[in-house]
Amino acid sequence: MTTHTPKLIIHGGAGRAFADPSRAEIVRASLNRALLPVMDELLAGASSLDAVVMGCRLLEDDPIFNAGTGSAIQSDGIVRMSAALMQASKQRSPTFSGVINVEQVRHPIDMAAFLQSDRDRVLAGNGASLLARELNLELHDPIVERRLIEWLRERGLDFAADAVDVVAGAPTPEPEHEHGTGTIGVVALDSSGAIAAGTSTGGRGFERVGRVSDSATPAGNYATEFAGVSSTGIGEDILDACLSARVVVRVSDGFSLHDALEKSMRESQAREHMLGAIAISHDGCIGWAKTSDILLAAYHDGTTYADTIDLPHGTITQVHEG
């Protein structure tokens, strides 16, 4: 049996450039707090599925991101979260699972993980809430002060903002410079060659009640034995592009990971979409791409790690073949 070098990439959102450059170090530290322990588990033999769940849980617990604790608040003052998980290998068919608009849970990704082995693998709204009770998940209030201040401010402006603040920091007097998304995602390749991808979000923020983001759909999260992708950015743009599935299908059809990401991003750029994606292919390549100003991602090739936070604005796609 062929042994693969484990690979890992995670993200904490994509959006416009920071108004305050010091925020980059806040994000870098948070990403590394998730990246390094998860990579340790992968190197010790953890499956890609377990690694992705672990990584998503760590990022959901970090209040600077828009997932789990720290999630954005919808227009009616309620936090509703979504998460998805998918894993595949040469021995296992791809399995997609997820929850949509679940309330008062700490780790939406845990619910997606449970549904991996269930007959009904995507639950929404009341159904997701019923599952949380069935699993005896402890009630959890994901609202943090920063999000509440943000919501109160935007309520006074009739929720005119495009989206929530991308990362942590005090509310700014000019919030239009900080709008973006802080969805989190993890993609992993384990030593057996299995690929998994997971994505979790609190949504766009200030949205109409009942809106469904891309994160718990194949547009936002997708993996087969050929590649895994987690997308982030403006959810409607990702849905229109069917981004994650589009990249994976192109790799399946023989594109290199770089070319699959590049072609998909160029198409989205032509349509003025604002989005980003992280990916790993079956041959061990790690990729990231964006049409937005920044992509908050970090990766580990089994030996070294780095991040994409300082990636030049004009750069669309990069692939690491370590």
Phi and psi at residue 236, to the nearest 5°: -65, -35
Q: Catalytic one among 69, 181, 183, 217?
A: 183
Residue 231 near residue 214, CB atoms below 8 Å: yes
Give the span between the Cα atoms of 139 and 132, in whole angstroms. 9
Which residues touch 9 (CB under 8 Å, ≥6 apart)?
A: 186, 187, 188, 278, 279, 280, 286, 287, 288, 297, 298, 299, 300
Active site (annotated) includes residue 183: yes
| Separation of alpha carbons 79 and 84, rounded Å | 17
Task: Assess contact for 179 and 164: CB atoms under 8 A.
Answer: yes
Q: Let me know if 175 is exposed, middle or buried by CB neighbors in 10 A (0-12, 13-18, 19+).
A: middle
Cβ contacts of 219 within 8 Å, gap of 6 or more: 231, 238, 239, 241, 242, 243, 244, 245
The Cα–Cα gap between 313 and 132 comes to 41
Residue type, 197: A
Given a contact cutoff of 8 angstroms between Cβ atoms, the answer to whether 129 and 116 are in contact is: no
Q: How far apart are CA 286 and CA 282, in angstroms?
A: 10
The burial of 132, by beta-carbon neighbours within 10 Å (0-12 exposed, 13-18 middle, 19 or more buried), is given as buried
Secondary element (H or E) of residue 30: helix 23-43
The type of residue at 138 is E
Active site residues: 183
